[in-house]
Structure 1
Amino acid sequence: MKYLLSAAAASALMAGTAFAGNLEPAPAEPVIAPAPAPTFTSPNWTGFYAGGQLGYADVDTDLAGVDGDGFIGGLTAGYDYDLGDWVIGAGLDYDWTDVTLSGANLDVDNVFRAKLRGGYKLGNGLLYATGGYANVDVETLGDEDGYFVGAGYEHMVTENISLGGEVLYHQFDGLPAGGVDTDPEATTAQVRATFRF
């Protein structure tokens, strides 16, 4: 009887050991690494652009009662170079106007600008200052040279399209009217859309 109990105990022990040896460890749960935080990169402004602009012009002169305001709009083109946080560039504007100088019944036909600009990148936008050469053409009086200064903001809405606004102050050398220089000055505010190549 003792022998039978010993044999039964040994058999049970061997069966338990064999059973335990056949157990496979549970598979480990996969570790999901957290997604890296998105890193923001501002657009690259380097390249040529061309587009159109439309806005309002206010013209004043030294002659009492000779002033006017109205719509202004035209074409713009240029090149920008991205320096990292800063952008520099040069461009040309040509605008037509419907401004008539009251008191003299003279039409301001067009304004040409050769400009430099420099600005600081703010996300997808560019806040900039600008200035340069300006030329105005007034019906019957001819054209006159001057300068302009101003500021603007441009925002990339897609990889190739930007929208913006610009305010400029112009000062011209003087347009002779009846032998008197009028010394016109003009302020323009325009919105613009450009395609960047």
Structure 2
Amino acid sequence: MTTTFKFARTAMLAAPLALAAGMASAGGLAAPVETVAPTPMPAPAPVMRRGTDWSGFYLGGQLGYGEVTVSALDDEDFNGAIYGVHAGYMYDLGALVLGAEVDYDLTGIEGDDIGVLGSAEVDDVLRVKARVGYDAGAFLPYVTGGVVRANLSGTDGDVADLTAEGDFYGLGVAYKFSDSILMGGEVLQHKFYEGDDGVQGLGIRATTATARVSFQF
């Protein structure tokens, strides 16, 4: 009886120890918990300017229509075709594009009974321009202005050939058809207030509208 009691007591003490040892062993064999590293966020892409580089020299030609009004003769006007060449340079500052240009036109503008000129025609027109444009991608709308000189011919013997000088302003747009080809147009308003004696006091004004093609390099 005593031996049985001792055995039972030993078993009761050993059971908790065995259970604890088993739990400790199971914990040691358990797979370690993996820690997932956070996914790195990609860096934001740089913001690119939605524009076109307009910087560079260019040259080309223009073709259009011109009308001359003489206010001293009850706003009598005469008109005709104009055609010529131009050359300039543009510098792209980002949103703004600055430029300078020289253009030269021959004309078919002519009319009858133009005051002291009699029958008259505009032989040629030379302009020196400054312009400021807005870089709108493939399009470049701009304002322009500068000085102008025109040579006129008349049938009156005393003032057969005259030179008129003045200024002008206007609007234009260029379209970048390719890296080297520009297409566009201009509308210009001119006022002549200086020149030979036969021109002064006549109040000569002119409007021109041209289509333009340029090669940029």
The two structures have a TM-score, normalised by structure 1, of 0.75
2:140 aligns with 126
The answer to whether structure 1 residue 47 and structure 2 residue 56 are counterparts is yes
CA deviation digits over 1:16-55, x for unaligned, max 9? xxxxxxxxxxxxxxxxxxxx9xx77432111100000000
- Higher helix residue share: 2
Please give the secondary structure, in 1, of the residue aligned with 2:89: strand
Q: In structure 1, what is the Cα distance between the partners aligned to 2:150 and 2:200?
A: 17
The answer to whether structure 1 residue 157 and structure 2 residue 177 are counterparts is yes
2:70 aligns with 61
**Aligned-CA RMSD value:** 1.9
Instruction: Say whether the 8 Å CA contact 1:141–1:176 is kept in structure 2.
Output: no
Q: Which structure has the larger Rg?
A: 2
1:80 aligns with 90
Return 168-177 or 48-57, whichever deviates more. 168-177
Q: In structure 1, what is the Cα distance between the partners aligned to 2:146 and 2:202?
A: 21
- Higher strand residue share: 1
Q: In structure 2, what is the Cα distance between the partners aligned to 1:105 and 1:112?
A: 22
Instruction: Say whether the 8 Å CA contact 1:43–1:159 is kept in structure 2.
Output: no
Q: Which amino acid aligns with 2:112?
A: S
Measured after TM superposition, the shift of residue 101 of structure 1 is 2.6
Which segments of 5 or more consecutive residues in structure 2 lack a partner in the other structure?
1-44, 154-159
Instruction: Say whether the 8 Å CA contact 1:101–1:108 is kept in structure 2.
Output: no
CA separation of 1:141 and 1:67: change in aligned 2, threshold 3 A: farther
Which segments of 5 or more consecutive residues in structure 1 lack a partner in the other structure?
1-35
Q: In structure 2, what is the Cα distance between the partners aligned to 1:101 and 1:147?
A: 22
CA deviation digits over 1:35-88, x for unaligned, max 9? x9xx77432111100000000001001232642011011001000000011100
Q: In structure 2, what is the Cα distance between the partners aligned to 1:51 and 1:117?
A: 17
Return the match for 2:188 from 164, 168, 175: 168
Give the percent of matched residue pairs that are identical in Structure 1 and Structure 2. 39
CA separation of 1:44 and 1:144: change in aligned 2, threshold 3 A: same
Q: In structure 2, what is the Cα distance between the partners aligned to 1:108 and 1:100?
A: 6
Instruction: Say whether the 8 Å CA contact 1:176–1:182 is kept in structure 2.
Output: no
Measured after TM superposition, the shift of residue 144 of structure 1 is 1.5
